[in-house]
A and B are shown apart, each in its own frame.
Chain A
């Protein structure tokens, strides 16, 4: 099976752990001396960076949470001066404070390699034509497929959010061999073809590379059967790199975590205790090489488990199971993440609504494509005239679209 960087991807695990320790010590030194937030955290915990002498000592470092990133907006988490940063990205939300993640040129180079590792590992090569049907505006990782495809010499067709019909036409005319998108969008393309009575045999697709939302095995089956492709998953974490933290290989039995750049742990989300091999819990990641934006023990809120059992593909990198659950209330709709704090922010800016609310999702095959926000409303609103309700609904919808990037149905209720 093809491997882009065999010296790392098939490295003897003992050596890999030594490399991780070396890099962990370096990133801890950098974070402590360059990031005030970490210096304070260490000092409060009465921990010196010099005490990190084994990988187990990692457990002594306090967790970093999403809230820490929000609190340190914009540049508080940066470990290099802004001049070294060549890209600034903020995932979603023009509302309130977003999170700003910086990357140096080296960070981007590393990222390109990681996505290319996944591509090569599932059989993509310079003869392939990759159709990228991710939303380039909202899913900032989409552009990474372009860069990494170029790295391995494959051709890229960024079709972005073109309609299902246009996607099919381009797939047919350009003879795309790889489709990469959110799995729900691939299902949408499939259904478009079924509705129009189109023949999947008119396509040249061989491989599907899907990610950005969780998708059950049945979806893989459906896509593989209909398009006659091999479908694989790529995983990322927006606050580190997305996509590119982990990816499936041809064995399809878990996603190899790129442990030379990210140190994974699984914790019990309530107690914070580190779980052993195979235990299911929250994924915690420590960046080992990110220069601009090092994160120590970042709680991803994704629920998974890890195994370092050998994989038939020959890679020694540990594998994580498919993420199907979250520890927070975040919901993912058509590949777009909606965080509770964004919802709260939106509601705060309107009189008479909130703070109580609930999110109701509708979808198919275990993936969401429709979101309804049931929000607590004052009696004044509930008993008000229909036009007033409609106008308020529209205002909230607009604000929500700005904050989260997607449209939402609004229902006013007495108790959400």
Chain B
């Protein structure tokens, strides 16, 4: 569904992504893990058209999206849920959701249908639909952000740290939701710090380090990979020849 090849991105003169190539197949959950500053968010921003890349190609459903404006990319069905500022706090829950369907605003019937589906997925949002989004808890805000993204009925979702700042019980709920969205047919690219939970629900994953992809494999392979364990799953290590 998504094919990214040789992406390079800079912040000023500092190169943050180096020839990054990866692909996401239809109906896959693919995760991207890496330390802070590895370039994960930048990569999502490049794919969304929010951050320029110097080279490389990114093909979404056979369309080269390089040079396309972000809203065009959204219209193709590729939606990013950002890490922060993901909802409009002064607006109500319902208004937030309506904004998520901005590109389809003329199709009132479809909009109602979509909202019904989102409320089905997150009943709490229906209860709170007329409250300001700023009044929601962290977990509820995350649900709203996801719901907002779903309002445009995207083919693929890119989630940036959906578990960030959530209480542990909400975190596992979050991962359950991501998994069920995938079972309903959504393709998902998931960026996470919480490597263990993420890899557990991922079909495949990539490890990004200093702007380069240094490892790839199935979720299970990466979970069992010693380097991943050391770097992200909190295992200690000492080399065999160390005395």
Q: Is B a genuine binding partner of A?
A: yes
The chain A residues found within 8 Å of chain B, CB to CB, are 18-19, 21-23, 25-26, 29-30, 33, 49-50, 52-53, 75, 80-84, 104-106, 291
25 contacts between A and B (CB under 8 A): A18-B23, A21-B21, A22-B21, A22-B22, A23-B216, A25-B19, A25-B212, A26-B213, A26-B214, A26-B215, A29-B213, A30-B214, A33-B214, A50-B18, A53-B6, A53-B55, A75-B241, A81-B239, A82-B240, A83-B226, A83-B239, A83-B240, A84-B227, A106-B224, A106-B225
Closest-by-CB residue of A relative to B21 is: A22
**In the assembled complex, which residues on chain B have CB atoms less than 8 Å from the CB atom of A83?**
226, 237-240
Per CB-CB distance, the 3 closest pairs between chain A and chain B, nearest first, are: A82-B240, A84-B226, A81-B239
CA distance A365 to B128 in the complex (A): 84
Taking the closest CB of chain B, its distance from the CB of A14, in whole angstroms, is 11
Smallest CB gap from B211: residue in A: A50
Residues in B whose Cβ lies below 8 Å from that of A33: 214
Question: Chain A residue with minimal CB distance to B4?
Answer: A22
Secondary structure class of chain B's binding surface, majority of residues: strand
Residues of B within 8 Å of A84, CB to CB, are 226-227
Contacts of B239 in A (CB 8 A): 81-83
Number of A-B contacts (CB under 8 A): 62
Q: Are A30 and B215 in contact (CB under 8 A)?
A: yes
Alpha-carbon distance between A105 and B19 when the two chains are bound, in angstroms:
28
State the CA gap A84–B216 with chains docked (Å): 16
In the assembled complex, how far is the CB of residue B225 from the closest CB belonging to chain A, in whole angstroms? 7
List, in ascending order, chain A residues with CB within 8 A of B19's CB: 25, 49-50, 52-53
> Known contacts A22-B21, A50-B19, A52-B19: does B212 contact A80 (CB below 8 Å)?
no
The 8 Å CB contact of B216, one of A26, A49, A104, A105, is A26
Cα separation A365 to B22 with both chains bound (whole Å)? 49
Given contacts A22-B23, A84-B227, A106-B225, contact A29 B240 (CB under 8 A): no
Tell me if B196 counts as interface (CB < 8 A to partner A): no
Chain B, 188-231, CB within 8 A of any chain A CB: 212-217, 221, 224-227
**A49 to B211 Cα, complex, angstroms:** 12
A106 touches B217 (CB 8 A): yes
CA distance A23 to B238 in the complex (A): 28
Cα of A73 to Cα of B212 in the assembled complex, Å: 29
A30–B227 Cα gap in the complex (Å)? 11
**Complex alpha-carbon distance, A30 and B215, angstroms:** 8
**Cα(A83)–Cα(B225), bound, Å:** 12
With A25-B212, A83-B240 given, can you name 19 additional A-B contacts, CB distance below 8 Å?
A18-B3, A18-B5, A18-B23, A21-B5, A22-B21, A22-B23, A25-B19, A25-B213, A26-B215, A29-B213, A49-B212, A50-B19, A75-B241, A80-B226, A81-B240, A83-B238, A83-B239, A106-B217, A106-B224
* Nearest CB in chain A: distance from B8 CB, A: 8
The chain A residue sitting closest to B212, CB to CB, is A29
Cα separation A75 to B3 with both chains bound (whole Å): 36
Contacts of A25 in B (CB 8 A): 19, 21, 212-213
Cβ distance A171 to chain B, nearest Cβ, rounded Å: 38
Cα distance A105–B241 in the bound complex, in angstroms: 19
CB pair A80–B21 under 8 Å, yes or no, is: no
In the assembled complex, the CB of B210 is this many whole angstroms from the nearest CB of chain A, namely: 9
CA distance A22 to B24 in the complex (A): 12
B241 touches A82 (CB 8 A): yes
Whole-angstrom distance between the Cβ of B208 and the nearest chain A Cβ: 10
Residue of chain A at shortest CB distance from B55: A53
The docked-state distance in angstroms from the alpha carbon of A75 to that of B242 is 14
Name the A residues within 8 Å of B214 (CB-CB): 26, 29-30, 33
A106 and B239 CA atoms in complex are apart in Å by 19
B47 CB to nearest chain A CB (Å): 15
The complex places the Cα of A124 from the Cα of B238 at a distance, in Å, of 43
- Report B160 CB to chain A, min CB distance, Å: 22
- Taking the nearest CB of chain A, how far is it from the CB of B83, in angstroms? 25
Which of B5, B21, B23, B240 has the most C-beta atoms of chain A within 10 angstroms of its own C-beta? Answer: B21
Q: A6 vs B73: C-alpha distance in the bound complex, in angstroms? A: 33
